[in-house]
């Protein structure tokens, strides 16, 4: 399975600011995904990021709030824009391996004050 790292691992931010989360994979992958895990909740898919094309967002998530970049096959970023306390969550990236198996990064724990 791929080794996935995320930066930062955690952050505390002020409302109204933006945070960019980085996801790095040790091998080339086609599909990368970004998830949100709100406190005490399960995972919700934010968007799917393919290299060379626009990200595909799930219902309830928009590009203006969660812009995503995918400049190459090993890297992606997710920006959480104009943050509010409701954005306090764990943000996880994942990659797709064989047979649609997804492997997850360690997550970024975000607290918005």
Query: What are the tokens at 43?
Result: 């995972």
C-alpha 14/C-alpha 54 separation (Å) is 29
Binding test (CB under 8 A) with another protein, winner from 42, 60, 86, 113? 42
- Closest to another protein by CB, 48 vs 88, is 48
Backbone angles phi, psi at 25, to 5 degrees: -115, 145
Whether omega before 8 lies within 30 degrees of 0, making that bond cis, reads yes
Let me know: does 48 contact 56? Beta carbons within 8 Å: yes
User: Of 20-28, 59-67, 71-79, 89-97, which part binds another protein (CB under 8 A)?
Assistant: 89-97
Piece of 17-25, 35-43, 59-67, 69-77 that binds another protein (CB under 8 A):
35-43
User: Site residues (CB under 8 A) for another protein?
Assistant: 1, 4, 6, 31, 33, 41-43, 45, 48, 92, 94, 96, 99-107, 109
């Amino acid at each position: 399975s791929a080794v996935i790292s995320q930066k930062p691992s955690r952050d505390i931010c002020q409302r109204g600011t933006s945070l960019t989360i980085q996801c790095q994979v040790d091998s080339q992958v086609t599909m990368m995904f970004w998830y949100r895990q709100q406190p005490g909740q399960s995972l919700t898919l934010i968007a799917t990021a393919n290299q060379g094309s626009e990200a595909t967002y799930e219902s309830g998530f928009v590009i203006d709030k969660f812009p995503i970049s995918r400049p190459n096959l090993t890297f992606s970023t997710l920006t959480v824009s104009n943050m509010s306390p409701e954005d306090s969550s764990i943000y996880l990236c994942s990659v797709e391996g064989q047979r649609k198996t997804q492997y997850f990064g360690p997550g970024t724990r975000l607290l918005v004050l």
